Chains A and B, each alone.
Chain A
Amino acid sequence: MSQAPTPVRFKGTDTYLTHESLQAAVNCALTLQRPLLVKGEPGTGKTLLAEAIAEALGHRLITWHVKSTTRAQDGLYVYDTVQRLYDSRFNDGDVRDIRKYIRQGPLGEAFSSPERVVLLIDEVDKADLEFPNDLLHELDRMRFRVTETGDEVVAKHRPVVVITSNNEKELPDAFLRRCVFHFIDFPDAELMRRIVGVHHPGLDSALSEQALKVFYELRSFTRLRKKPSTSELIDWIAVLKAQGVNDIKLDEQLPFLGALLKKEQDLVSVAEAFGRGRRPRA
Protein backbone atom coordinates (compact mmCIF):
# COMPACT_ATOMS: atom_id res chain seq x y z
CA MET A 1 0.00 0.00 0.00
CA SER A 2 2.99 2.26 0.36
CA GLN A 3 3.53 2.67 -3.38
CA ALA A 4 2.45 6.02 -4.86
CA PRO A 5 0.67 7.48 -1.87
CA THR A 6 -1.87 10.16 -2.65
CA PRO A 7 -1.76 13.01 -0.22
CA VAL A 8 -4.41 14.72 -2.35
CA ARG A 9 -7.69 15.08 -0.54
CA PHE A 10 -10.96 15.21 -2.39
CA LYS A 11 -13.22 18.04 -1.27
CA GLY A 12 -15.81 18.20 -4.05
CA THR A 13 -15.79 20.71 -6.87
CA ASP A 14 -17.51 23.99 -7.62
CA THR A 15 -20.42 22.22 -9.20
CA TYR A 16 -20.42 19.01 -7.18
CA LEU A 17 -21.24 19.43 -3.52
CA THR A 18 -20.36 16.61 -1.19
CA HIS A 19 -21.13 15.51 2.30
CA GLU A 20 -18.23 14.87 4.63
CA SER A 21 -19.01 11.15 4.77
CA LEU A 22 -18.75 11.01 0.98
CA GLN A 23 -15.44 12.87 1.13
CA ALA A 24 -14.19 10.40 3.73
CA ALA A 25 -15.16 7.49 1.50
CA VAL A 26 -13.48 9.00 -1.56
CA ASN A 27 -10.33 9.75 0.41
CA CYS A 28 -10.25 6.21 1.79
CA ALA A 29 -10.49 4.87 -1.74
CA LEU A 30 -7.74 7.20 -2.94
CA THR A 31 -5.39 6.43 -0.08
CA LEU A 32 -5.94 2.68 0.07
CA GLN A 33 -6.12 2.47 -3.73
CA ARG A 34 -9.27 0.42 -3.63
CA PRO A 35 -12.30 0.73 -5.87
CA LEU A 36 -15.05 2.98 -4.55
CA LEU A 37 -18.51 1.47 -4.75
CA VAL A 38 -21.29 4.07 -4.76
CA LYS A 39 -24.92 3.20 -4.28
CA GLY A 40 -27.98 5.36 -3.86
CA GLU A 41 -31.34 6.30 -5.28
CA PRO A 42 -31.34 7.03 -8.99
CA GLY A 43 -30.61 10.70 -9.64
CA THR A 44 -28.47 11.40 -6.58
CA GLY A 45 -25.34 12.01 -8.62
CA LYS A 46 -23.50 8.69 -8.52
CA THR A 47 -22.15 8.98 -12.03
CA LEU A 48 -21.35 12.66 -11.62
CA LEU A 49 -19.15 11.78 -8.66
CA ALA A 50 -16.59 10.13 -10.94
CA GLU A 51 -16.54 13.21 -13.15
CA ALA A 52 -16.10 15.40 -10.09
CA ILE A 53 -13.20 13.28 -8.83
CA ALA A 54 -11.54 13.38 -12.24
CA GLU A 55 -11.98 17.13 -12.36
CA ALA A 56 -10.75 17.71 -8.82
CA LEU A 57 -7.65 15.56 -9.27
CA GLY A 58 -7.02 16.67 -12.84
CA HIS A 59 -7.08 13.13 -14.24
CA ARG A 60 -8.64 11.84 -17.42
CA LEU A 61 -11.95 10.02 -17.02
CA ILE A 62 -12.55 6.70 -18.75
CA THR A 63 -16.15 5.54 -18.65
CA TRP A 64 -17.37 1.99 -18.98
CA HIS A 65 -21.14 1.79 -19.25
CA VAL A 66 -22.17 -1.67 -18.25
CA LYS A 67 -25.13 -3.22 -20.05
CA SER A 68 -27.02 -6.43 -19.47
CA THR A 69 -24.95 -8.16 -22.13
CA THR A 70 -21.58 -6.83 -20.96
CA ARG A 71 -19.02 -9.44 -19.97
CA ALA A 72 -15.97 -8.80 -17.85
CA GLN A 73 -13.79 -9.80 -20.78
CA ASP A 74 -15.16 -6.86 -22.84
CA GLY A 75 -13.61 -4.46 -20.38
CA LEU A 76 -10.16 -5.92 -20.79
CA TYR A 77 -9.88 -6.50 -24.51
CA VAL A 78 -11.85 -7.81 -27.45
CA TYR A 79 -10.31 -10.23 -29.91
CA ASP A 80 -12.06 -9.63 -33.20
CA THR A 81 -12.13 -13.20 -34.48
CA VAL A 82 -14.66 -12.65 -37.19
CA GLN A 83 -12.70 -9.79 -38.73
CA ARG A 84 -9.60 -11.95 -38.72
CA LEU A 85 -11.50 -14.81 -40.30
CA TYR A 86 -12.81 -12.56 -43.03
CA ASP A 87 -9.41 -11.01 -43.61
CA SER A 88 -7.85 -14.43 -43.97
CA ARG A 89 -10.60 -15.49 -46.33
CA PHE A 90 -10.25 -12.49 -48.63
CA ASN A 91 -6.53 -11.88 -48.10
CA ASP A 92 -7.02 -8.36 -46.78
CA GLY A 93 -4.03 -7.32 -44.74
CA ASP A 94 -1.69 -9.34 -42.63
CA VAL A 95 -3.56 -11.79 -40.44
CA ARG A 96 -0.46 -13.27 -38.84
CA ASP A 97 -0.25 -10.45 -36.32
CA ILE A 98 -2.91 -11.20 -33.74
CA ARG A 99 -2.27 -7.90 -32.02
CA LYS A 100 -3.92 -6.12 -34.90
CA TYR A 101 -7.18 -7.78 -34.00
CA ILE A 102 -7.05 -7.08 -30.29
CA ARG A 103 -8.81 -3.94 -29.20
CA GLN A 104 -8.52 -2.77 -25.64
CA GLY A 105 -11.62 -2.29 -23.52
CA PRO A 106 -12.03 0.52 -21.00
CA LEU A 107 -10.23 -1.38 -18.25
CA GLY A 108 -7.32 -2.22 -20.53
CA GLU A 109 -7.17 1.38 -21.64
CA ALA A 110 -7.07 2.58 -18.04
CA PHE A 111 -4.26 0.15 -17.18
CA SER A 112 -2.07 0.99 -20.11
CA SER A 113 -2.57 4.75 -19.85
CA PRO A 114 0.76 6.50 -19.24
CA GLU A 115 -0.73 8.74 -16.57
CA ARG A 116 -3.14 8.04 -13.74
CA VAL A 117 -6.79 8.03 -14.79
CA VAL A 118 -10.20 7.80 -13.18
CA LEU A 119 -12.13 4.76 -14.35
CA LEU A 120 -15.90 4.79 -13.97
CA ILE A 121 -17.64 1.43 -14.13
CA ASP A 122 -21.21 2.62 -14.39
CA GLU A 123 -24.18 0.56 -13.20
CA VAL A 124 -22.26 -2.61 -12.47
CA ASP A 125 -25.47 -4.31 -11.36
CA LYS A 126 -26.90 -4.21 -14.89
CA ALA A 127 -24.67 -7.04 -16.01
CA ASP A 128 -24.85 -10.72 -15.26
CA LEU A 129 -24.34 -11.95 -11.70
CA GLU A 130 -20.91 -13.32 -12.50
CA PHE A 131 -19.66 -10.03 -13.92
CA PRO A 132 -18.24 -8.50 -10.71
CA ASN A 133 -16.69 -11.84 -9.74
CA ASP A 134 -14.87 -12.02 -13.04
CA LEU A 135 -13.32 -8.62 -12.39
CA LEU A 136 -12.07 -9.38 -8.87
CA HIS A 137 -8.59 -10.38 -9.81
CA GLU A 138 -8.07 -7.65 -12.40
CA LEU A 139 -9.21 -4.92 -10.01
CA ASP A 140 -7.18 -6.34 -7.17
CA ARG A 141 -3.89 -6.83 -8.97
CA MET A 142 -4.53 -4.21 -11.65
CA ARG A 143 -3.09 -6.48 -14.32
CA PHE A 144 -4.28 -9.09 -16.78
CA ARG A 145 -2.92 -11.30 -19.49
CA VAL A 146 -4.02 -11.32 -23.10
CA THR A 147 -4.30 -15.07 -23.62
CA GLU A 148 -4.09 -14.88 -27.42
CA THR A 149 -0.68 -13.19 -27.42
CA GLY A 150 0.63 -13.94 -23.96
CA ASP A 151 1.20 -10.22 -23.35
CA GLU A 152 0.61 -8.98 -19.85
CA VAL A 153 -1.01 -5.60 -19.35
CA VAL A 154 0.07 -4.09 -16.05
CA ALA A 155 -1.22 -0.79 -14.73
CA LYS A 156 1.58 1.76 -14.57
CA HIS A 157 -0.48 3.82 -12.19
CA ARG A 158 -3.34 2.22 -10.35
CA PRO A 159 -6.40 4.00 -11.72
CA VAL A 160 -8.96 5.50 -9.36
CA VAL A 161 -11.88 3.13 -9.85
CA VAL A 162 -15.41 4.34 -9.17
CA ILE A 163 -18.17 1.77 -9.45
CA THR A 164 -21.84 2.71 -9.32
CA SER A 165 -24.73 0.39 -8.62
CA ASN A 166 -28.46 0.94 -8.76
CA ASN A 167 -29.06 -2.04 -6.56
CA GLU A 168 -30.90 -4.06 -9.15
CA LYS A 169 -28.87 -7.05 -8.15
CA GLU A 170 -26.99 -8.06 -5.06
CA LEU A 171 -23.25 -7.93 -5.52
CA PRO A 172 -21.14 -10.88 -4.36
CA ASP A 173 -19.50 -10.62 -0.92
CA ALA A 174 -16.00 -11.22 -2.24
CA PHE A 175 -16.42 -8.23 -4.52
CA LEU A 176 -17.87 -6.02 -1.78
CA ARG A 177 -15.00 -6.84 0.54
CA ARG A 178 -12.51 -5.27 -1.82
CA CYS A 179 -14.42 -2.03 -2.22
CA VAL A 180 -14.84 1.11 -0.18
CA PHE A 181 -18.57 1.51 0.11
CA HIS A 182 -20.64 4.65 0.17
CA PHE A 183 -24.39 5.05 0.12
CA ILE A 184 -25.43 8.48 -1.12
CA ASP A 185 -28.25 9.71 1.07
CA PHE A 186 -31.02 11.70 -0.38
CA PRO A 187 -29.95 15.31 0.32
CA ASP A 188 -31.79 17.13 3.07
CA ALA A 189 -33.45 20.47 2.38
CA GLU A 190 -30.37 22.45 3.40
CA LEU A 191 -27.96 20.62 1.10
CA MET A 192 -30.58 20.62 -1.64
CA ARG A 193 -30.83 24.41 -1.39
CA ARG A 194 -27.08 24.63 -1.94
CA ILE A 195 -27.21 22.15 -4.81
CA VAL A 196 -29.96 24.16 -6.51
CA GLY A 197 -27.89 27.31 -5.89
CA VAL A 198 -24.88 25.72 -7.63
CA HIS A 199 -26.84 24.65 -10.68
CA HIS A 200 -29.03 27.71 -10.99
CA PRO A 201 -27.02 30.62 -9.70
CA GLY A 202 -28.98 33.83 -9.40
CA LEU A 203 -32.29 32.02 -9.19
CA ASP A 204 -35.02 34.05 -7.52
CA SER A 205 -34.92 32.86 -3.92
CA ALA A 206 -38.69 32.94 -3.58
CA LEU A 207 -39.05 30.63 -6.56
CA SER A 208 -36.40 28.24 -5.32
CA GLU A 209 -38.02 28.08 -1.87
CA GLN A 210 -41.40 27.34 -3.44
CA ALA A 211 -39.93 24.76 -5.77
CA LEU A 212 -38.14 23.01 -2.90
CA LYS A 213 -41.27 23.01 -0.79
CA VAL A 214 -43.34 21.49 -3.59
CA PHE A 215 -40.56 18.99 -4.29
CA TYR A 216 -40.34 17.68 -0.74
CA GLU A 217 -44.13 17.59 -0.45
CA LEU A 218 -44.25 15.44 -3.55
CA ARG A 219 -41.53 13.19 -2.21
CA SER A 220 -43.43 12.66 1.02
CA PHE A 221 -46.40 11.50 -1.02
CA THR A 222 -46.39 7.81 -0.29
CA ARG A 223 -48.43 6.65 -3.23
CA LEU A 224 -45.80 7.62 -5.78
CA ARG A 225 -44.25 4.75 -7.68
CA LYS A 226 -41.13 6.71 -8.49
CA LYS A 227 -40.15 9.59 -6.29
CA PRO A 228 -38.65 12.62 -8.02
CA SER A 229 -34.90 12.93 -7.47
CA THR A 230 -32.29 15.66 -7.40
CA SER A 231 -31.62 15.64 -11.13
CA GLU A 232 -35.33 15.87 -11.83
CA LEU A 233 -35.70 18.84 -9.49
CA ILE A 234 -32.87 20.62 -11.27
CA ASP A 235 -34.43 19.92 -14.67
CA TRP A 236 -37.78 21.11 -13.41
CA ILE A 237 -36.36 24.39 -12.16
CA ALA A 238 -34.59 24.84 -15.49
CA VAL A 239 -37.93 24.46 -17.27
CA LEU A 240 -39.62 26.87 -14.86
CA LYS A 241 -36.88 29.39 -15.46
CA ALA A 242 -36.97 29.02 -19.21
CA GLN A 243 -40.72 29.49 -19.25
CA GLY A 244 -40.58 32.49 -16.95
CA VAL A 245 -42.78 30.92 -14.30
CA ASN A 246 -42.20 32.74 -11.04
CA ASP A 247 -45.01 31.65 -8.80
CA ILE A 248 -45.88 28.05 -8.09
CA LYS A 249 -48.36 26.52 -5.74
CA LEU A 250 -48.86 22.90 -4.88
CA ASP A 251 -52.22 22.25 -6.45
CA GLU A 252 -53.81 20.67 -9.49
CA GLN A 253 -52.25 23.15 -11.88
CA LEU A 254 -48.62 22.46 -11.04
CA PRO A 255 -46.65 23.61 -14.08
CA PHE A 256 -44.52 21.10 -16.02
CA LEU A 257 -45.17 18.31 -13.57
CA GLY A 258 -43.97 15.91 -16.24
CA ALA A 259 -40.41 16.97 -15.50
CA LEU A 260 -40.74 15.66 -11.94
CA LEU A 261 -43.03 12.67 -12.24
CA LYS A 262 -42.27 10.11 -14.88
CA LYS A 263 -45.01 7.57 -14.39
CA GLU A 264 -48.54 8.05 -15.60
CA GLN A 265 -50.02 6.54 -12.44
CA ASP A 266 -48.09 9.06 -10.35
CA LEU A 267 -49.45 11.98 -12.35
CA VAL A 268 -52.95 10.58 -11.97
CA SER A 269 -52.67 9.99 -8.25
CA VAL A 270 -51.24 13.47 -7.62
CA ALA A 271 -54.00 15.05 -9.71
CA GLU A 272 -56.58 13.02 -7.81
CA ALA A 273 -55.25 13.99 -4.41
CA PHE A 274 -55.19 17.70 -5.17
CA GLY A 275 -58.30 17.64 -7.33
CA ARG A 276 -60.37 16.65 -4.34
CA GLY A 277 -58.66 19.20 -2.17
CA ARG A 278 -57.16 16.53 0.08
CA ARG A 279 -53.70 16.75 1.49
CA PRO A 280 -51.39 13.95 0.56
CA ARG A 281 -50.81 11.33 3.16
CA ALA A 282 -47.42 11.99 4.63
Chain B
Amino acid sequence: MIPAQFDYLAPSTVEEALAALAQHGDEAKILAGGQSLLPVLRMRLNAPEMVIDLGKITSLRGVRDDGDAIVVGAMTQHSVVGSDPLVAEHAALVSKAVEHLADVQIRHRGTFGGALAHADPAGDLGAPALALGAQFVIQGPGGTRTVPAEEFFVDLFETAIGEDEILTEVRLPKHTGWGAHYEKFVRVAHQWPIVAVAAAVRVDGGSIAEARVGLTNMGNTPVRAHAVEQALVGQPATPDGVRDAAARAAEGTNPPSDLNGDADYRRHLATVLTRRAVLTAAGATG
Protein backbone atom coordinates (compact mmCIF):
# COMPACT_ATOMS: atom_id res chain seq x y z
CA MET B 1 0.00 0.00 0.00
CA ILE B 2 2.37 2.69 -1.20
CA PRO B 3 1.60 5.63 -3.45
CA ALA B 4 1.72 5.49 -7.23
CA GLN B 5 4.75 7.12 -8.82
CA PHE B 6 4.93 10.89 -8.95
CA ASP B 7 7.49 13.58 -9.61
CA TYR B 8 8.45 15.87 -6.77
CA LEU B 9 9.46 19.48 -6.29
CA ALA B 10 10.31 21.25 -3.05
CA PRO B 11 10.48 24.98 -3.90
CA SER B 12 11.86 27.43 -1.35
CA THR B 13 9.58 30.38 -2.18
CA VAL B 14 5.86 30.84 -2.82
CA GLU B 15 6.69 32.32 -6.24
CA GLU B 16 8.58 29.16 -7.26
CA ALA B 17 5.72 27.03 -6.01
CA LEU B 18 3.21 29.09 -8.03
CA ALA B 19 5.39 28.76 -11.14
CA ALA B 20 5.49 24.98 -10.70
CA LEU B 21 1.74 24.93 -10.21
CA ALA B 22 1.22 27.00 -13.36
CA GLN B 23 3.40 24.60 -15.33
CA HIS B 24 1.80 21.36 -14.13
CA GLY B 25 -1.80 22.51 -13.68
CA ASP B 26 -4.30 19.94 -12.52
CA GLU B 27 -1.70 17.15 -12.72
CA ALA B 28 -0.10 18.65 -9.61
CA LYS B 29 -1.04 18.35 -5.97
CA ILE B 30 0.19 20.63 -3.18
CA LEU B 31 1.80 18.87 -0.21
CA ALA B 32 1.64 20.75 3.10
CA GLY B 33 2.09 18.56 6.21
CA GLY B 34 0.83 15.53 4.33
CA GLN B 35 -1.29 14.10 7.13
CA SER B 36 -4.36 13.96 4.89
CA LEU B 37 -2.69 13.81 1.47
CA LEU B 38 -0.35 10.90 2.21
CA PRO B 39 -3.17 8.57 3.34
CA VAL B 40 -5.02 9.52 0.14
CA LEU B 41 -1.93 8.74 -1.96
CA ARG B 42 -1.21 5.51 -0.09
CA MET B 43 -4.73 4.26 -0.69
CA ARG B 44 -4.39 5.48 -4.30
CA LEU B 45 -7.59 7.47 -4.05
CA ASN B 46 -5.60 10.09 -5.94
CA ALA B 47 -2.51 9.73 -8.12
CA PRO B 48 -1.09 13.13 -9.06
CA GLU B 49 1.79 13.21 -11.54
CA MET B 50 3.52 15.98 -9.62
CA VAL B 51 3.67 16.70 -5.90
CA ILE B 52 4.77 20.21 -4.92
CA ASP B 53 6.01 20.20 -1.32
CA LEU B 54 5.70 23.54 0.53
CA GLY B 55 7.78 22.21 3.43
CA LYS B 56 10.88 24.25 2.61
CA ILE B 57 9.06 27.60 2.33
CA THR B 58 9.91 29.04 5.74
CA SER B 59 7.94 32.26 5.13
CA LEU B 60 4.71 30.25 5.36
CA ARG B 61 5.38 29.24 8.98
CA GLY B 62 4.65 31.12 12.16
CA VAL B 63 2.08 33.20 14.03
CA ARG B 64 2.08 36.99 14.24
CA ASP B 65 0.04 39.83 15.69
CA ASP B 66 -1.29 42.17 13.01
CA GLY B 67 -3.43 44.74 14.77
CA ASP B 68 -7.01 43.51 14.77
CA ALA B 69 -6.09 39.97 13.73
CA ILE B 70 -3.78 37.10 14.59
CA VAL B 71 -2.18 35.82 11.38
CA VAL B 72 -1.31 32.12 11.13
CA GLY B 73 1.02 31.04 8.32
CA ALA B 74 -0.52 28.24 6.27
CA MET B 75 2.39 25.85 6.97
CA THR B 76 2.34 26.34 10.74
CA GLN B 77 1.98 22.96 12.42
CA HIS B 78 -1.05 22.26 14.63
CA SER B 79 1.22 21.70 17.65
CA VAL B 80 2.70 25.20 17.18
CA VAL B 81 -0.73 26.82 16.77
CA GLY B 82 -2.03 24.90 19.78
CA SER B 83 0.69 26.20 22.09
CA ASP B 84 0.91 29.73 20.70
CA PRO B 85 0.18 32.39 23.36
CA LEU B 86 -1.17 34.92 20.81
CA VAL B 87 -3.71 32.41 19.51
CA ALA B 88 -4.63 31.42 23.07
CA GLU B 89 -5.22 35.05 24.09
CA HIS B 90 -7.01 36.37 21.01
CA ALA B 91 -8.48 33.34 19.23
CA ALA B 92 -8.90 30.82 22.03
CA LEU B 93 -11.51 28.89 20.06
CA VAL B 94 -8.78 27.78 17.67
CA SER B 95 -6.52 26.68 20.55
CA LYS B 96 -9.36 24.62 21.99
CA ALA B 97 -10.09 22.92 18.66
CA VAL B 98 -6.44 22.13 17.98
CA GLU B 99 -5.96 20.63 21.43
CA HIS B 100 -7.84 17.44 20.53
CA LEU B 101 -7.31 17.41 16.77
CA ALA B 102 -6.21 13.91 15.64
CA ASP B 103 -3.29 12.80 17.85
CA VAL B 104 0.06 14.15 19.00
CA GLN B 105 2.11 12.78 16.09
CA ILE B 106 -0.36 14.11 13.52
CA ARG B 107 -0.38 17.52 15.22
CA HIS B 108 3.41 17.64 14.95
CA ARG B 109 3.26 17.27 11.15
CA GLY B 110 -0.16 18.50 10.06
CA THR B 111 -0.53 22.17 9.20
CA PHE B 112 -3.20 24.79 9.85
CA GLY B 113 -3.50 25.78 6.19
CA GLY B 114 -3.26 22.24 4.91
CA ALA B 115 -6.14 21.03 7.06
CA LEU B 116 -8.33 24.00 6.07
CA ALA B 117 -7.49 23.66 2.37
CA HIS B 118 -8.30 19.93 2.55
CA ALA B 119 -11.82 21.04 3.65
CA ASP B 120 -12.90 17.74 5.17
CA PRO B 121 -16.32 18.55 6.68
CA ALA B 122 -15.32 16.39 9.67
CA GLY B 123 -12.08 18.35 10.11
CA ASP B 124 -11.77 20.24 13.39
CA LEU B 125 -10.60 23.65 12.11
CA GLY B 126 -13.35 24.69 9.70
CA ALA B 127 -16.04 25.38 12.29
CA PRO B 128 -13.81 27.54 14.54
CA ALA B 129 -12.46 29.43 11.51
CA LEU B 130 -16.00 30.06 10.29
CA ALA B 131 -17.28 31.03 13.72
CA LEU B 132 -14.49 33.57 14.24
CA GLY B 133 -14.93 35.05 10.76
CA ALA B 134 -11.46 34.05 9.54
CA GLN B 135 -10.07 35.61 6.36
CA PHE B 136 -8.14 33.36 3.97
CA VAL B 137 -5.19 34.93 2.13
CA ILE B 138 -4.70 33.21 -1.22
CA GLN B 139 -1.82 33.90 -3.60
CA GLY B 140 -1.91 33.25 -7.32
CA PRO B 141 -0.21 34.37 -10.52
CA GLY B 142 -2.22 37.61 -10.47
CA GLY B 143 -1.32 38.50 -6.88
CA THR B 144 -2.98 38.07 -3.53
CA ARG B 145 -6.67 38.05 -2.63
CA THR B 146 -8.50 37.62 0.65
CA VAL B 147 -11.56 35.41 0.92
CA PRO B 148 -13.92 35.41 3.94
CA ALA B 149 -14.58 32.07 5.64
CA GLU B 150 -18.20 31.90 4.48
CA GLU B 151 -16.99 31.98 0.84
CA PHE B 152 -13.88 29.82 1.39
CA PHE B 153 -15.69 26.54 2.05
CA VAL B 154 -17.49 25.67 -1.18
CA ASP B 155 -18.39 21.98 -0.91
CA LEU B 156 -17.12 18.60 0.23
CA PHE B 157 -13.28 18.83 0.03
CA GLU B 158 -13.67 21.94 -2.14
CA THR B 159 -12.58 25.50 -1.33
CA ALA B 160 -12.28 28.84 -3.09
CA ILE B 161 -8.58 28.17 -3.77
CA GLY B 162 -8.09 28.10 -7.55
CA GLU B 163 -6.02 25.45 -9.34
CA ASP B 164 -3.22 27.97 -9.86
CA GLU B 165 -3.35 29.36 -6.32
CA ILE B 166 -1.92 28.60 -2.87
CA LEU B 167 -3.33 29.41 0.56
CA THR B 168 -0.57 31.40 2.30
CA GLU B 169 -2.07 32.55 5.59
CA VAL B 170 -5.22 32.75 7.65
CA ARG B 171 -6.24 35.92 9.51
CA LEU B 172 -8.16 35.30 12.71
CA PRO B 173 -10.02 38.44 13.90
CA LYS B 174 -9.21 39.04 17.55
CA HIS B 175 -11.82 37.88 20.03
CA THR B 176 -9.88 38.96 23.09
CA GLY B 177 -11.60 38.20 26.37
CA TRP B 178 -14.16 35.87 24.81
CA GLY B 179 -14.77 32.48 26.38
CA ALA B 180 -14.35 29.57 24.00
CA HIS B 181 -14.91 25.84 23.85
CA TYR B 182 -14.82 23.09 21.24
CA GLU B 183 -17.12 20.22 22.15
CA LYS B 184 -16.28 17.14 20.14
CA PHE B 185 -18.17 13.85 20.08
CA VAL B 186 -16.06 10.86 19.04
CA ARG B 187 -16.18 7.12 19.47
CA VAL B 188 -12.41 6.59 19.33
CA ALA B 189 -10.10 9.16 20.89
CA HIS B 190 -8.13 10.27 17.86
CA GLN B 191 -10.80 9.89 15.20
CA TRP B 192 -12.80 12.53 13.36
CA PRO B 193 -15.79 13.90 15.25
CA ILE B 194 -19.22 12.48 14.52
CA VAL B 195 -20.37 16.02 15.31
CA ALA B 196 -18.49 18.85 17.02
CA VAL B 197 -19.45 22.36 18.04
CA ALA B 198 -17.18 25.40 18.24
CA ALA B 199 -18.54 28.15 20.48
CA ALA B 200 -17.15 31.54 21.48
CA VAL B 201 -19.12 33.89 23.71
CA ARG B 202 -18.62 37.30 25.24
CA VAL B 203 -20.24 37.42 28.65
CA ASP B 204 -21.10 40.78 30.16
CA GLY B 205 -22.59 40.99 33.64
CA GLY B 206 -23.67 37.35 33.67
CA SER B 207 -25.44 37.58 30.32
CA ILE B 208 -24.29 36.58 26.87
CA ALA B 209 -23.59 39.78 24.93
CA GLU B 210 -22.31 38.15 21.72
CA ALA B 211 -21.95 34.59 20.50
CA ARG B 212 -20.30 32.76 17.59
CA VAL B 213 -21.14 29.13 16.94
CA GLY B 214 -19.80 26.82 14.22
CA LEU B 215 -20.73 23.19 13.55
CA THR B 216 -18.44 20.38 12.37
CA ASN B 217 -19.73 17.50 10.23
CA MET B 218 -23.28 18.83 9.93
CA GLY B 219 -23.15 19.26 6.15
CA ASN B 220 -20.77 19.32 3.20
CA THR B 221 -19.02 22.36 4.66
CA PRO B 222 -18.63 23.78 8.15
CA VAL B 223 -21.91 25.43 9.21
CA ARG B 224 -22.43 28.68 11.11
CA ALA B 225 -25.33 28.37 13.56
CA HIS B 226 -26.74 31.89 13.08
CA ALA B 227 -30.09 31.08 14.71
CA VAL B 228 -28.33 29.96 17.89
CA GLU B 229 -26.06 33.00 17.92
CA GLN B 230 -29.01 35.38 17.68
CA ALA B 231 -31.08 33.53 20.25
CA LEU B 232 -28.22 33.54 22.75
CA VAL B 233 -27.85 37.33 22.85
CA GLY B 234 -29.16 38.71 26.12
CA GLN B 235 -29.64 35.29 27.70
CA PRO B 236 -28.16 34.56 31.12
CA ALA B 237 -25.12 32.29 30.94
CA THR B 238 -26.95 29.48 32.73
CA PRO B 239 -28.29 26.05 31.65
CA ASP B 240 -31.85 27.40 31.51
CA GLY B 241 -30.76 30.50 29.63
CA VAL B 242 -28.87 28.55 26.97
CA ARG B 243 -31.13 25.52 26.44
CA ASP B 244 -33.74 27.06 24.12
CA ALA B 245 -31.12 28.78 21.96
CA ALA B 246 -29.08 25.58 21.65
CA ALA B 247 -32.18 23.67 20.55
CA ARG B 248 -32.01 25.63 17.28
CA ALA B 249 -28.50 24.32 16.40
CA ALA B 250 -29.65 21.95 13.67
CA GLU B 251 -31.79 24.52 11.82
CA GLY B 252 -30.83 24.71 8.17
CA THR B 253 -28.25 21.91 8.39
CA ASN B 254 -27.96 18.91 6.11
CA PRO B 255 -25.89 16.36 8.04
CA PRO B 256 -24.70 13.07 6.54
CA SER B 257 -25.88 9.61 7.53
CA ASP B 258 -23.19 6.98 7.93
CA LEU B 259 -22.16 4.05 10.14
CA ASN B 260 -21.59 6.41 13.07
CA GLY B 261 -25.10 7.79 13.02
CA ASP B 262 -27.92 8.93 10.80
CA ALA B 263 -28.82 12.52 10.07
CA ASP B 264 -31.49 12.73 12.79
CA TYR B 265 -29.02 11.48 15.38
CA ARG B 266 -26.53 14.15 14.27
CA ARG B 267 -29.21 16.87 14.50
CA HIS B 268 -29.91 15.80 18.06
CA LEU B 269 -26.19 15.67 18.87
CA ALA B 270 -25.76 19.20 17.51
CA THR B 271 -28.29 20.61 19.97
CA VAL B 272 -26.80 18.78 22.97
CA LEU B 273 -23.20 19.61 22.07
CA THR B 274 -24.10 23.23 21.38
CA ARG B 275 -25.58 23.58 24.86
CA ARG B 276 -22.46 22.06 26.40
CA ALA B 277 -20.08 24.10 24.26
CA VAL B 278 -21.79 27.42 24.95
CA LEU B 279 -22.05 26.79 28.70
CA THR B 280 -18.42 25.75 28.97
CA ALA B 281 -17.34 28.72 26.85
CA ALA B 282 -19.34 31.00 29.15
CA GLY B 283 -17.64 29.51 32.18
CA ALA B 284 -20.87 27.96 33.43
CA THR B 285 -21.50 24.26 34.01
CA GLY B 286 -24.40 22.19 32.89
Tell me if chain B binds chain A. Answer: no
Binding site for A on B (CB under 8 A): none
Binding site for B on A (CB under 8 A): none
